Amino acid sequence: MKRTLPLLVFLALAACAPGSRAQTPPDAEGGFESAALPPVGFGTLSQNDVSVLLRDDEVELRFLPLDERVIRLLAPDAYQALSALVRQNQPAIDSIASSRGLSSPGLALVTFFGRVARARFDPQLVSLQVRGHPIFPLGTVPIGPGFSNRELGVRGQARAIFVFEEIVPVIEPFTLSYGTQQSAAWESRIQLLSRERGRAVRRAQAADST
């Protein structure tokens, strides 16, 4: 035992030494779960790429998290449009959040599409589930006319920013629910976003070096 002790001490010191494997800094690009935000202007994804779809007999729903970790990976024009949408509606968003004592609510752009004549939709049926924990919207900020009517014609649409009681958990799988319909498709979006984040960082680095 006395002979093995110096070896164990040596290995422990080596692990802590500069340049050792234990001290190797994380990948500068990071994964999708990285705390650093992706650079702006170097994404290529479309809104459909980062959305989850659900449908019932009357409507189809498209759910798009308005999280900077997500929308910065969109093509520049799409990012600018969604970023501007949030800024323009920030007072209404803040009003809903502050009424519940929240400073950082979760945001998502939810669009309803009519599939039949006089299709009815109910925003209160939208919710998220993450690790068995439900996350509900506190309120909605309608975008454009028609949302308050709760009724759509065939191919009609209505959209709103949904203000959730918690940050939408975009770095882990969640289940989107609308009434009895559910989708766990976000899990596959995480893999796509992780790959695109790496590409966006490399594009930004290449642009900086020119």
Give me the helix-helix angle, 90-99 and 76-88, nearest 10°. Answer: 60
What are the backbone angles phi and psi of residue 124, rounded to the nearest 5°? -70, -10
Closest CA to 201 of 43, 81, 92, 54: 43
- pLDDT (0 to 100) of residue 31: 60
Contact by Cβ (8 Å): 76, 41:
yes
pLDDT digits (tens, 9 = 90+) for 7-22: 333 334 343 343 333 3
For range 182-193, the mean pLDDT: 96
Residue 28: predicted pLDDT: 40
- Give, as one character, the DSSP assignment of residue 30: -
* Per-position DSSP letters for 45-113, written without gaps between them: B-TGGG-EEEE-SSEEEEEEE--HHHHTTB-HHHHHHHHHHHHHTHHHHHHHHHHTT-SS-EEEEEEEE
- Is this prediction's pTM over 0.75? yes
CATH class of 48-186: mainly beta
Lowest-confidence range among 22-36, 80-94, 136-150? 22-36
Domain spans in the chain, listed from the N-terminal domain onward: 48-186
